[in-house]
A = this chain, B = another copy of it.
């Protein structure tokens, strides 16, 4: 049996464009004499559609698309794809997250997702009722055990908390499935591809069955889908693997029942975090810009490492002609601020404009002087400079129609070391899920490819340059100390006591936790940030603002 996986990058709700992409995949499949074409979870509308699923018009459009796709199947060519299926009226949610098998021009069988994730970025019980007992689908003499995304993850160590009561894969195997197929929209985080391959191997080996895994690719707001679709033999060895971070079309001859198939030697997926991060962010940035209808981007270049890395990723994603850098020297900017920005722009081949903030800064201070007379300078004047830069960047964004990128990293976003309506301005926070230490690693990794980020940017101590001789480390512990504390608190959910047990000083841990909880109000107004860790700020982390954080610092 020859199967194909179409790993498509779709825009949510772009029904016509989705149809044309599927049409193209069908043509390729026909040219390759494929018997079964596998598409991904909810491919009829793109994943995650979120509350668009609550709209009748949106669901109807997804059904119309399903019908048009089904019409492209014929008697010896089947298409398997995910879609949103309305349920009969009754208790529970109105929809199933379903997969249809199309043959002879029609959807002839379907199955429904049983395990609906409700953690991190997932809210599937908001929209879907769980499927009941799944049944294998009969096709060309084989019994397909079709599941959807989370359905295949119920394996100890792979799902958070206690997992699920049911195991749809086990049910399907018990009912005679001889080929496992999973349609997914499984978002990326660092190490996820390796983790996923381990899981899939575990499943294939456990049941001694080949496994076809079709995953969505592309960036949709915060989420980056890496693709990396897989076909495994009954022994768990990889028969074929699609590209990561780009569209792909995979054709595989499945082994006969009982045989293992010819293993292909694959590069390991255990890549370095900087390499994985840069590839993922490049895709996430490119797709957000394109799917929001922009052509070019702009960003402030401070001469620092965060804006340098963001600019370098933007150039990878879009090309140098589509990236505009702005240097905005202020009263406390070092000489390196401008020279490093210039060197970076030159290395990247991007345009650079220089807009000094001196004049608006003076004008604001004069305007505010009747109210600020005799008051000491404080963080107000620092924020003022950051906000003037934010206003200038947005003026350029408005005038030229370029999307503004914001350049804050995860460490500073965590502790609130950033200015709301200032350096936080922008349509997309490219590296807001990248801890500062990884920002350095990514920059060095990029420089290995081609030295673009100036050595002086890499070597100088980080500084916001908003007051004389300011350095990040005046307000924060060294990033080598800060980052592991943040990871323990935010990603692992450790308590203060648990973090102290790892060898950090209690007063420092307490101070960091307080900073993180108090900065919640800033993050609530932050731009969407590309997610590359297992716990990013945004839709996957929901904390109240008006809360007493002492519960998290006073308890062990």
What is the interface of chain A, defined by CB distance below 8 A to chain B? Answer: 11-17, 45-46, 48-52, 54-58, 60-61, 87, 89-94, 118-119, 123, 125-126, 161-165, 219-221, 287-288, 291-292, 353, 355-357, 359-360, 362-364, 366-368, 370-372, 375, 378-380, 383-384, 387-388, 390-392, 394-396, 398-399, 420-421, 425, 427, 493, 495-497, 521, 524-528, 539, 541-552, 555-556
Cβ of B546 and Cβ of A11 under 8 Å apart? yes
Report how far A496 CA is from B56 CA in the complex, Å: 11
Q: A52-B551, A368-B392 are in contact. List 12 more A-B contacts (CB 8 A).
A: A58-B552, A118-B123, A119-B126, A219-B546, A291-B546, A363-B363, A364-B392, A372-B399, A383-B394, A384-B391, A391-B421, A427-B521
Report how far A288 CA is from B399 CA in the complex, Å: 37
A88 shortest CB reach to chain B, Å: 9
Cβ of A161 and Cβ of B92 under 8 Å apart? yes
Partner of A395, one of B15, B89, B364: B364
**Taking A12-B547, A355-B368, A395-B384 as contacts, is the C-beta distance between A92 and B165 under 8 angstroms?**
yes
Partner of A55, one of B360, B539, B552: B552
Report how far A288 CA is from B539 CA in the complex, Å: 22
**Taking A355-B368, A372-B399, A495-B55 as contacts, is the C-beta distance between A91 and B162 under 8 angstroms?**
yes
CB-nearest residue of chain B relative to A218? B546
Residues of chain B contacted by A379 (CB below 8 angstroms): 398
Report how far A186 CA is from B464 CA in the complex, Å: 45
Residues of chain B contacted by A420 (CB below 8 angstroms): 394
A369 shortest CB reach to chain B, Å: 10
Cβ of A495 and Cβ of B57 under 8 Å apart? yes
Residues of chain B contacted by A493 (CB below 8 angstroms): 54-56
**Taking A366-B359, A367-B359, A421-B394 as contacts, is the C-beta distance between A542 and B60 under 8 angstroms?**
no
A354 shortest CB reach to chain B, Å: 9
Cβ of B357 and Cβ of A380 under 8 Å apart? no
A280 shortest CB reach to chain B, Å: 16
Partner of A542, one of B94, B539, B550: B539
CB-nearest residue of chain B relative to A545? B221
Partner of A92, one of B51, B164, B383: B164
A453 shortest CB reach to chain B, Å: 26
CB-nearest residue of chain B relative to A159? B91
A142 shortest CB reach to chain B, Å: 31
**Taking A287-B546, A545-B221, A546-B12 as contacts, is the C-beta distance between A57 and B496 under 8 angstroms?**
yes
Report how far A19 CA is from B495 CA in the complex, Å: 22
Residues of chain B contacted by A164 (CB below 8 angstroms): 91-92
**Taking A91-B163, A91-B164 as contacts, is the C-beta distance between A548 and B14 under 8 angstroms?**
yes
A57 shortest CB reach to chain B, Å: 4
Partner of A546, one of B57, B220, B542: B220
Residues of chain B contacted by A380 (CB below 8 angstroms): 395, 398-399
Cβ of A162 and Cβ of B123 under 8 Å apart? no
Report how far A394 CA is from B379 CA in the complex, Å: 11
**Taking A94-B161, A388-B391, A525-B525 as contacts, is the C-beta distance between A544 and B52 under 8 angstroms?**
yes
Cβ of B398 and Cβ of A383 under 8 Å apart? yes
Report how far A363 CA is from B391 CA in the complex, Å: 12
**Taking A164-B92, A396-B371 as contacts, is the C-beta distance between A13 and B364 under 8 angstroms?**
no
CB-nearest residue of chain B relative to A360? B363
Most chain B C-beta atoms within 10 Å of own C-beta, residue among A58, A360, A420, A556: A360
Cβ of B61 and Cβ of A551 under 8 Å apart? yes
Partner of A221, one of B56, B221, B368, B546: B546
**Taking A57-B496, A119-B126, A367-B392 as contacts, is the C-beta distance between A11 and B548 under 8 angstroms?**
yes
Residues of chain B contacted by A378 (CB below 8 angstroms): 398-399
